[in-house]
Amino acid sequence: MLLIKNGRVIDPSSKTDAGLDVFLDGEKIKEVAPAGKVAAPPGTEVFDATGLIVAPGFIDLHVHLREPGQESSETIETGTRAAARGGFTAVCCMPNTKPVNDNASVTRFILDRAKAGGSVRVWPIGAASVGSKGEAIAEIAGMKEAGIVAVSDDGKPIATAKLARQVMDYCRSLDLPVMEHSEDVSLAAGAVMREGVTSTRLGLRGMPAAAESVCVARDVQLAELSGARLHVAHLSAKASLEQVRWAKSRGLRVSCEVTPHHFTLIDEDVQYDSKFKMNPPLAARDDREALLAGLADGTVDAIATDHAPHEPALKDVEFDRAPFGILGLETALALALEQLVQSGRLSLMRMVELFTAGPARVLSMERKIATGQPGDLTIFSVNHSWTYHVKESPSKSRNSPFDGRAFKGGSVATVVAGRIVHKQ
């Protein structure tokens, strides 16, 4: 039994913003009542949330936990510890492991490992095609039975329009969202950053914004054709956002996510340092402006980290040779507070929605603080000063461009299934 008292509860699903106590019993929320009104039995653990925000548990739709197969970069244990530190109570792990999560036995392995050593909930995403090779459709029904929440060939798009259409048709019948890493691989071939003045100045090969947006255009039209639920992963370009806006205006079941690094940094920030290398790459200044507008106006459904650990031996090399991807779990909330809320662009309510109700809707779930709901809560502060030191991260990797950055506000405690899994 756990009582979170004196906190400010912000719950976008019911538009609640009030001083409430939350009482958890077992794995669920038992009671939500005005401060001091819960009659908790003796022996209840009490967490004093005075001055803190109590929100529904944050969901990250997009992480790479690297297990099985690349345990030197991350494991389910270390990745979920990083998630708990960052305030996430559930993470959706992409299937590009070794082997690829393209069948039920890999899905079950991931879930077993999560149960044994995971700090937060792990919701696997299955591959759309066998080995994510873009040839045959993976055993999606079997994986769904084992527990996947979506399919994706993340790291690359579903290889052909024809297969993407077939996967969407199939997933519509299975009621699973298709998460697309939208990229025209021919336009992006060999590129290591976004094409523009900075790539031209640095002499680094760039991919144009169109490398993403032409594939988003393909995918939203296939979503219309198939009627499937399409979720555009790590959307970075203004033109892509316009495609999603168009799809939403037509009533299509299309959603999208944006990463904290894309709403914080731009291509002009890139240096010859592989911690600035990710895919999609940091975009142009006006792309970032468009993303910020989309986060505010509802076009963007979720903030997702694309947490992509790579051990130093892989990442600490020449920019051209380094793999794409950066850490994200521990800095997402603080960057959202800094870039979205403290800048005055979004309300705290809207920001919380992008971490809770928004991603939950993508997965056709609910996320709210109410009696009978799962006991998952994210407790955070909007004003405590702290500095992110990547060397203190529980992640096995160190590839963050935000190492040493000072923040105001961030995660304070994370509650999963009625238990505090992280406390600052």
Q: Which residues bind another protein (CB under 8 A)?
A: 195-197, 199-205, 271-273, 313, 316-321
User: For residues 100 and 322, which CB has a smaller minimum distance to another protein in the complex?
Assistant: 322
User: For residues 326 and 379, which CB has a smaller minimum distance to another protein in the complex?
Assistant: 326
Q: Which residues contact 164 (CB under 8 A, 6 or more apart)?
A: 157, 158, 178, 180, 218, 219, 222
- Closest distance between another protein and the C-beta of residue 208, in Å? 10
- Closest distance between another protein and the C-beta of residue 399, in Å? 14
Q: Is 269 helix (H, G, I), strand (E, B) or coil?
A: helix
Residue 112 known to be catalytic: no
* Residue (of 290, 278, 267, 366) closest to 325 by Cα position: 278
- Closest distance between another protein and the C-beta of residue 323, in Å? 13
- Closest distance between another protein and the C-beta of residue 272, in Å? 3
- Closest distance between another protein and the C-beta of residue 317, in Å? 6
User: For residues 324 and 386, which CB has a smaller minimum distance to another protein in the complex?
Assistant: 324
Q: Is 241 helix (H, G, I), strand (E, B) or coil?
A: helix
- Closest distance between another protein and the C-beta of residue 78, in Å? 23
User: For residues 173 and 200, which CB has a smaller minimum distance to another protein in the complex?
Assistant: 200
- Closest distance between another protein and the C-beta of residue 381, in Å? 35
b or e along 274-305 (b: 16 or more beta carbons within 10 Å of the residue's beta carbon)?
Answer: bbbbbbbbbbbeebbebbbebbbeebbbbbbb
User: For residues 146 and 192, which CB has a smaller minimum distance to another protein in the complex?
Assistant: 192
313: left (phi over 0), alpha (psi -120 to 50) or beta: alpha
User: For residues 165 and 238, which CB has a smaller minimum distance to another protein in the complex?
Assistant: 238
From the candidates 11, 219, 287, 306, give the one annotated as an active-site residue: 306
User: For residues 204 and 241, which CB has a smaller minimum distance to another protein in the complex?
Assistant: 204
Catalytic residue positions? Answer: 306
